[in-house]
Amino acid sequence: MKINISIVVIVYLFLITSSALATDSFIEFRLADNNQIDNSTKYVINNQAIFVHAELILNHKNIENAELEIQDKKPPTWLAVADKTGMAKLQDKPTVIIHILLNNTGQKILETITARNIGKKLAIFLENELVMAPTIIEAITTGRISIVGDIEKQQAEQIIKKINNKST
């Protein structure tokens, strides 16, 4: 009888921990593929289906600090930028960039994962929303990541504040 109760308690604690991992981070990095694999979730970004792995690679706990950059220069009117739907539109607002510096553990993890997964995608989630999934073309060894996407300045400021304050 003790064994059964212990197993139930262990499973219960595992389920609580697993669900917390899925919801407690405001920034997450996960691998993704163009094809369905076991334990992956389908997302559509830029009119392309990708399948995001369940395993968490990095989150806010692996980040040393973050900075915001606003590029006020607007591109020429002939330059169109693809939005989240993949449709071309004129860029009519400043570009918001989140610069991230990983801690030593995060840098080592990212270097190892990117070296082993060239050709796959690195899905980046901000506040549980997939914001981009660039293709890994080489190992990322510097521990520095820049997120440039369809991010509002206020959202970026809140995320950076959370990262730098290490709050959730």
pLDDT digits (tens, 9 = 90+) for 129-164: 898 899 999 999 999 998 887 778 898 898 899 888
pLDDT, position 92: 64
Mean pLDDT of 53-71: 93
pLDDT, position 142: 94
What is the spatial distance between Cα 84 and Cα 156, in angstroms, rounded to a whole number? 17
- Contact, 131 vs 164, CB < 8 A? no
Strands (E) in 72-155, as ranges, are 80-82, 88-90, 95-102, 121-126, 129-132, 144-148
Q: Which of 166, 56, 42 is nearest to 103 (CA)?
A: 166
- The H or E element spanning position 128 is none
Residue 97 pairs in a beta bridge with 69, 148
- Contact, 164 vs 66, CB < 8 A? yes
pLDDT, position 93: 74
Q: What percent of the chain clears pLDDT 70, i.e. is strictly above it?
A: 72
pLDDT, position 115: 96
Determine how β-strand 95-102 pairs with β-strand 88-90.
unpaired
Mean pLDDT of 56-62: 93
